[in-house]
């Protein structure tokens, strides 16, 4: 368009003045499309090299929904065992008290029970010789033969047969696992059960209003302490949620992050002056200090944690040491680079008045790098709050160890969700706190 609007003489003059624009080499013309094509080919290669199609095809996506449901719900798991004298009801893990009698289990006779899953159109009727699974109002009879449950001829997609047991799925409400010897029920309910008081507490089963009335105006339950003290103690020592232990482990994680980062900052900052070439005029000292920083930061914090757990045993000390080692290397490197890029005019000004070498560094270098260094320390402190959770999972103490213990049971996912929420709150608070301090430091440095 530019060439067509100009006369030939003007066009030739313009092309002569800017030959690089109008006469590009072959490389300049093709390098951008070639880079895009190579990047796309690389991603395609990685897609098949790492077996992404097979991973996606073999993934059990239904488990994701189950785990998410477990985060916000709880399960009651009674077993109906077939004995010689009838059906025995056992509670594998009762969150309903020592004598559970839920309204979703109805005794239909001396040896027959009905378990409803949300409504009467979805239920399981358990008898000695057969089990009737009602799904969306349709009855399916499950019989037993040769010591195994037999899949009904009328079975739908809600039924599954594996290893001689028939499983009936009722969606979020739960499932029934039917065997020749028993019927195992997993009945799901929304919410976190017994979050405030466990089944052994005198406050168990009370509504919020009843608890408030008992604490403020009710008769004293124990003679040696008030009802308020008793309620707080019952909450903290809740056997299901273990609030006090969770809070202690969370505090351990916070202390691990703070102490490890603080020690790293105290050691890394002075060492960075030895590593900086413009401050310490000794190549051997510069090289040795920088390589020490490289060694410390090249090993991941998780590997350091495993190493120290093996040496010192589980606990917060290995976690603090892992954070200290990793952050010393990283903070030392970043501080060295900041010192090597300072404006030497300030040092020369301090030197010109006859100051000592220590005073030259104190007044000529530290004011230039201190805001940057403190900002990095605050960022690492906030970041290490998250990292301390991860290294805690390998035995370095803190809430990470508590978190991995809850995951291993594969039943306490609501406890996992509780701890994750606490970690998110702590990270959010520390992130905003460090940002506020960082902004004030940077702002004050500009005045």
For 131-187, the pLDDT digits (tens) are: 999 999 999 998 888 888 888 888 888 999 988 899 999 988 999 999 988 999 999
Q: To 10 degrees, what angle do helices 366-391 and 357-364 make?
A: 70
pLDDT of 446: 47
Query: Do the domain assignments include residue 220?
Result: no
Q: Say yes or no: 117 and 253 in one domain.
A: no
Q: Say yes or no: 178 and 274 in one domain.
A: no
Query: Do the domain assignments include residue 63?
Result: no
Averaged pLDDT for residues 412-434: 88
Q: Say yes or no: 249 and 385 in one domain.
A: yes
- pLDDT above 80 (res 345): no
Range of 152's domain? 74-190
Please give the tally of structural domains in the chain.
2
What CATH number is given to the structural domain containing 333?
1.10.3720.10
pLDDT of 447: 45
Q: Say yes or no: 277 and 411 in one domain.
A: yes
Pick from 341, 363, 337: which is nearest to 352 by CA?
363
Query: Do the domain assignments include residue 61?
Result: no
Pick from 229, 273, 264: which is nearest to 384 by CA?
264
Query: Do the domain assignments include residue 124?
Result: yes
Q: Say yes or no: 262 and 377 in one domain.
A: yes
Q: Say yes or no: 280 and 172 in one domain.
A: no
Q: Which residue has the higher pLDDT, 356 or 174?
A: 174
Per-residue confidence band for 442, with pLDDT thresholds at 50, 70 and 90: low
Round to whole Å and give the CA distance between 123 and 113: 10
Q: Say yes or no: 172 and 253 in one domain.
A: no
Q: Say yes or no: 132 and 249 in one domain.
A: no
The pTM score is 0.77
Q: Say yes or no: 147 and 250 in one domain.
A: no
Round to whole Å and give the CA distance between 295 and 297: 6
Q: Say yes or no: 409 and 299 in one domain.
A: yes
- pLDDT above 80 (res 269): yes
Query: Do the domain assignments include residue 126?
Result: yes
Q: Say yes or no: 264 and 328 in one domain.
A: yes
**β-bridge pairing 174-178 and 73-76:** unpaired
Torsion of CA 293, 296, 299, 302, to 10 degrees: -130
Query: Do the domain assignments include residue 57?
Result: no
Q: Give the rounded distance of the alpha carbon of 243 from its chain centre.
A: 18
* Mean of all residue pLDDT scores within the chain: 85
**Degrees to nearest 5, angle at CA 291 with 289 and 295:** 115
Per-residue confidence band for 19, with pLDDT thresholds at 50, 70 and 90: low
Q: Say yes or no: 271 and 417 in one domain.
A: yes
Query: Do the domain assignments include residue 32?
Result: no
pLDDT in tens, 33-92: 889 999 999 999 998 888 888 888 887 777 777 778 888 888 888 999 988 778 888 887
Averaged pLDDT for residues 416-430: 90
Query: Considering the chain, what percentage of its residues have pLDDT values greater than 70?
Result: 92
Averaged pLDDT for residues 330-342: 88
């Amino acid at each position: 368009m530019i060439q067509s609007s100009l006369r030939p003489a003007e066009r030739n003059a313009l092309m002569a003045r800017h030959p690089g624009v109008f006469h590009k080499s072959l490389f300049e013309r093709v390098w951008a499309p070639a880079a895009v094509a190579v990047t796309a080919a690389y991603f395609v290669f990685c897609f098949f090299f790492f077996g992404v199609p097979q991973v996606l095809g073999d993934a059990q996506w239904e488990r994701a929904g189950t785990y998410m449901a477990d985060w916000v719900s709880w399960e009651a798991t009674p077993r109906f065992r077939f004995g010689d004298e009838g059906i025995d009801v056992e509670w594998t893990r009762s969150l309903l008290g020592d004598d559970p009698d839920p309204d979703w289990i109805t005794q239909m006779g001396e040896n027959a029970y009905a378990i409803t899953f949300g409504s009467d159109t979805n239920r399981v009727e358990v008898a000695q010789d057969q089990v009737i699974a009602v799904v969306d109002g349709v009855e399916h009879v499950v019989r037993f033969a040769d010591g195994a449950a037999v899949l009904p001829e009328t079975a739908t997609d809600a039924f599954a047969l594996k290893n001689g047991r028939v499983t009936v799925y009722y969606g979020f409400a739960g499932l029934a696992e039917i065997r020749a010897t028993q019927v195992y029920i997993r009945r799901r309910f929304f919410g976190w059960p017994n979050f405030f008081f466990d089944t052994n507490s005198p406050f168990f089963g009370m509504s919020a209003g009843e608890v408030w009335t008992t604490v403020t105006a009710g008769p004293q339950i124990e003679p040696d302490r008030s009802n308020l003290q008793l309620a707080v103690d019952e909450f903290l020592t809740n056997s299901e949620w273990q609030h006090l232990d969770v809070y202690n482990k969370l505090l351990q994680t916070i202390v691990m992050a703070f102490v490890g980062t603080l020690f790293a900052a105290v050691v890394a900052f002075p060492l960075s002056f030895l590593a900086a070439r413009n401050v310490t005029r000794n190549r051997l000292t510069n090289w040795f200090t920088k390589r020490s920083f490289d060694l410390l930061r090249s090993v991941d914090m998780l590997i350091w944690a495993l190493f120290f757990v093996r040496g010192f045993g589980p606990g917060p000390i290995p976690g603090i040491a892992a954070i200290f080692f990793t952050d010393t290397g990283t903070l030392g490197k970043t501080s060295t680079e900041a010192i090597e890029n300072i404006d030497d005019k300030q040092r020369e000004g301090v030197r010109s008045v006859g100051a000592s070498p220590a005073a030259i560094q104190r007044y000529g270098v530290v004011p230039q790098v201190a805001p940057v260094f403190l900002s990095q320390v605050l960022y690492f402190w906030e970041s290490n709050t998250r990292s301390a959770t991860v290294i805690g999972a390998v035995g370095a103490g803190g809430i990470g160890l508590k978190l991995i213990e809850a995951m291993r049971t594969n039943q306490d996912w609501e406890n996992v969700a509780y701890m994750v929420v606490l970690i998110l709150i702590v990270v959010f608070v520390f992130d905003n706190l460090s940002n506020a301090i960082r902004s004030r430091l940077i702002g004050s440095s500009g005045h």
